[in-house]
Amino acid sequence: MTRPERVAVWRPVRTAAGPVQVERHIVHIEDILGRKPVALALAALLAVLYLIHAGTSSIWDSNEAFYVETPREMMEHGTHLVPTFNYQPRLNKPPLAYWLVMIAYRLGGVSVWSQRLVIAAFALATLVVVWHLAFRMTASRVVAWAAAAITALTPRIFVMGRRSVIDMVLLFCVTAVVYYLHAYLEERRPRDLIWMGVCLGLGFMDKGPVAAALPLIIAAAYLAWRREWPRAPWGAVVLAAVAFALIVLPWYVGLARTLSVETIYRLLVVENFGRFTVEDFGPQRGPFYYLPIFMADFAPWSLLFVAGVVAWRRHWPELDEWDKSRLVLLLIWFAVPILFFSLSKNKQEYYILPSYPAAAIALAWLGRRLAGAARPPAWVPWVLRGVFLLGLGIVVLSYVVGRQILDRHLLLTITLPVMAGLMALGWIWAGGRRWRAALALPIAGMYVACLFLVYEVIPALEKYRQVPQLAAMINERARPDDYVAYFATALPSLCYYTRRPILELFYDGEIHNFFSRRQPIYCLMRKDKLAVLEQAGIPYRVLAERPFLSIRARSLGDMIPGMYANPLCLVTNQPPESAPSAPVLP
């Protein structure tokens, strides 16, 4: 790996802002960041964001429930080949994420904490790869640590890094492929191509064909731009393909022999290409859906990134060929996932997650070059002030939400003034002599915000997430042959908490059918859905009501009444004599 160059003090260099003097303190910062205790402290600061209260909160009823329960069922059944969820085969994704969680279960026991430790491990591994890639590209520890911090503090990565193992594994694999691509082009080591094949294979076993398609498109576009195809070491490429095949083929062959070839067809074609080209999952979303998603999910860095791209374009002729090549790789890496999924029929906000590390490295690199300028370009103070103004808005919003859900207001009254002070200080410094220090304040402000979120807000939300408590009530009452269900509200975590098959009911006729039987049923549904039973004249009994966490942007100022107005109810078809009622708690 290349080492940072010792930049001569006050030596004129050419940056994106033009010929400037490199200031003495930048060299000092590079030296400080090179000290092992400092590096360990910074790494620990980033790691705690993904580890604090990792096992405190209950399962998020979205993708996380599948990756907690499926490995548990596979261990229960003694199988590693066919994933199951709700005691039925689940073959919409390959099993790597399930296998990783199974390993964690065997080492640390079956728990939400064990599963989230896997998520955190891959989130932190991604930060390590981002650090090394940024350092290799720029020979600057300032850029490497800034890129890692921006990646860690990107809202979408931060959220998914605490709840989605499959997306963190994908992010790691795509980032690693780009790292080895750059390493190969820099040092021409065939083994880097083989490692690319390994990472592509792991990504394929995690997310399917899309995990290989994205980095291969990135590599193909970049190699075409560099006109590298004639010089490719095809022997190493063949070895990379062999490594890919050795990782991918055994499971697919075993699955085809155990089930059928049609199963492989449905997994690869229907569940992957079908989602992209034909099938619509969820609401209709236009071709420009990801533009506002990027601005929100990469905030506040998105404002700086857009301005930075304009700055890079303006000063493109001043860059040397090596800088241009590295920048083009980052821009291709950033653009490919956004363009790829913009063409997809099925669009989800987290699909463009692989774009964010590229944007983080490019932004950190730009910040380093700007910091070496004698004075900032005219646009820098205004963009920074826009970021700090956005930060003040987040502070106000945090206060509005925090005063409703937090029982302890002391930390709220300490944390938010600190954040507001950082934003106000940044506003002042952005237009003065300390504008370089203002470049780092968004990182400090975002860190304080994320730390407050994981330390205080996430645990406080648990009193509004009552599926584990309601599942415990079901376990106390339900016999092995009784029905357990949820209706019109997806609560897949109920399967994990009850350790039994769950009926997933979404249509009125389904719930009419099961509630009309003599066999007992215990069902979770929102209170407004009780009207479905009332209108059909079907008797029912509400055993418990609990507030239901529902966060909507339009109702942030009045969240709590909404959670109690339409609570989550545990309902049964059994009369009071056979199912004694539990008190309705607020």
Instruction: Tell me if residue 461 falls in helix, strand or coil.
Output: helix
Indicate the domain borders of the chain: 12-371, 379-461, 466-572
Q: How far apart are CA 510 and CA 119, in angstroms?
A: 36
Low-confidence ranges of the chain (pLDDT < 50): 1-22, 579-586
pLDDT score of 463: 87
pLDDT score of 409: 64
pLDDT score of 112: 95
Q: How far apart are CA 369 and CA 354, in angstroms?
A: 25
Instruction: Name the pTM for this structure.
Output: 0.91
Could you tell me which of 104, 92, 120, 94 has the C-alpha nearest to residue 68? 104
Q: What are phi and psi of 231, to 5 degrees?
A: -95, 10
Q: Is 142 exposed, middle or buried (0-12, 13-18, 19+ CB in 10 A)?
A: buried
Within 10 angstroms of residue 173's Cβ, the number of other Cβ atoms is 28
pLDDT digits (tens, 9 = 90+) for 87-142: 999 998 999 999 999 999 999 999 999 999 999 999 999 999 999 999 999 999 99
Alpha helix ranges (H) inside 315-408: 321-342, 355-371, 379-405
pLDDT score of 114: 96
User: In this structure, are residues 342 and 289 in contact, taking their beta carbons and an 8 Å threshold?
Assistant: yes
pLDDT digits (tens, 9 = 90+) for 412-466: 777 888 888 989 999 999 888 888 888 889 999 999 989 988 988 888 888 888 9
